Amino acid sequence: MKVCLKKSGEFPKKDEVSVIKKFVQFLQTQSPLNQDVRITFTDTRDIPMTTGVRMPNNEIVVLAKGRLLIDILRTISHEWVHEFQHQKMGVRDDVKIQDIGGPEENMCNILSGIFIKKFEKKYPEFSKVTYGETVNEEVLSEISPKSAGVNDFLEFMKQHPEYLSQMGFRNYDRLEDYIHTANYEEFSELLDEVDEILSKKDKYIDGEMDEIERAVQDLSRDGDLETTVENVKLAFHNAKEIDLTKDIWSKLENTESNQIKKGEMKKVEALAKQYNKSLPSELKKALLKGNYGRPMILKFGDRYHLVAGNTRLCTAAALGMTPKVLIAEV
């Protein structure tokens, strides 16, 4: 995979080219692309965009005039994730995505901030080029609470309140109060925590890929659903973690859990043996502690289909508890 950089006027200069090339190499380690990409820098908004846009045919256009290199890198990172979504996750050019608050856009917002922070930590020697000649430690410690990256982070957390408790915040207002008094290092630590949460979620979803593929094949074969494995994987990546309501549980397909009553652990043990799954006695401890892989539910139309986690749901039903689940909508 090659990346072609197209200059705009005097940008980028020689030292900026070196940083951009290193940043692109870094992005390839984080979200690797298969096809060649062209990054075009421009001084005008001749095409509809704010500070950048991902175009068909693997082109990224970035506004360069009057901007710090660090902001330009953030835009490259944002549009790079969009390109990754098209090349690796099945997002199509002929399907319009939601610009504000949509799952694809939220993914770009948060990952671009994480990638910038990781790059700065790995290459601190580039700070004078990325922030300009006047940069110093005091500026670095104060810049993040006022930056677009913080706004992107807060918007992401507003869309995913389920992560707040994992980060030690009682509610969104507590997080916002903390952010507005945080310095650069404290904000970086928050990005680290979100990165770890998202990495764990991605690893969990990857571990259930056999179940995702089986569900897509079964539903497609029966003519119930037209989608792809890539689209379903993306939907689960952006899925919110919620409590499984009685209404959804009662009509959930592909599970025996809605037939299990509180105290019927013997039935669950028999099902676990039948399907060669984990013993309910082991799952019980994890469920009560909240330390379990969230059962994965696919929503399409007014139907809910269990993709993974039948034994976990059955055990939860026998315990009389309300489990937390991931519900992806396609």
- Distances 127 to 80, 118, 252, 262 between C-alpha atoms, Å: 21, 13, 53, 59
CB 36 within 8 A of CB 116: no
Number of domains in the chain: 2
Each residue's pLDDT tens digit, 221-268: 888 888 889 889 989 988 889 999 999 999 999 999 999 999 999 999
Tokens of 90: 């099945």
- Looking at the structure, do residues 226 and 136 belong to the same domain, yes or no? no
Long-range contacts, 221-225 (Cβ 8 Å, 24+): 224/300, 224/303, 225/300, 225/330
Instruction: For the beta carbon of residue 169, count every other beta carbon within 10 angstroms.
Output: 18
pLDDT, residue 224, reads 85
- Looking at the structure, do residues 190 and 225 belong to the same domain, yes or no? no
- Looking at the structure, do residues 62 and 117 belong to the same domain, yes or no? yes
pLDDT, residue 143, reads 39
- Looking at the structure, do residues 308 and 159 belong to the same domain, yes or no? no
- Looking at the structure, do residues 193 and 220 belong to the same domain, yes or no? no
CB 42 within 8 A of CB 61: yes
Choose from 157-166, 186-195, 249-258 the range with maximum mean pLDDT. Answer: 249-258
> What's the rounded Cα separation, in Å, for the pair 62 and 51?
6
- Looking at the structure, do residues 52 and 137 belong to the same domain, yes or no? yes
Each residue's pLDDT tens digit, 35-73: 999 999 998 888 888 888 999 889 999 988 878 888 899
Domain carrying residue 152: 3-204
- Looking at the structure, do residues 53 and 150 belong to the same domain, yes or no? yes
Q: Give the strand pairing for 52-55 and 37-42.
A: unpaired
CB 163 within 8 A of CB 294: no
pLDDT, residue 53, reads 92
Each residue's pLDDT tens digit, 12-36: 888 999 999 999 999 999 999 999 9
- Looking at the structure, do residues 58 and 44 belong to the same domain, yes or no? yes
- Looking at the structure, do residues 240 and 114 belong to the same domain, yes or no? no
The residue among 169, 204, 239 that closes a domain is 204
- Looking at the structure, do residues 139 and 263 belong to the same domain, yes or no? no
- Looking at the structure, do residues 269 and 292 belong to the same domain, yes or no? yes
- Looking at the structure, do residues 160 and 260 belong to the same domain, yes or no? no
The residue among 204, 237, 272 that closes a domain is 204
**Per-position DSSP letters for 73-118, written without gaps between them:** HHHHHHHHHHHHHHHHS---TTSPPPSSS-HHHHHHHHHHHHHHHH
Residue 106 forms beta bridges with which residues? none
CB 61 within 8 A of CB 47: yes
The residue among 204, 223, 242 that closes a domain is 204
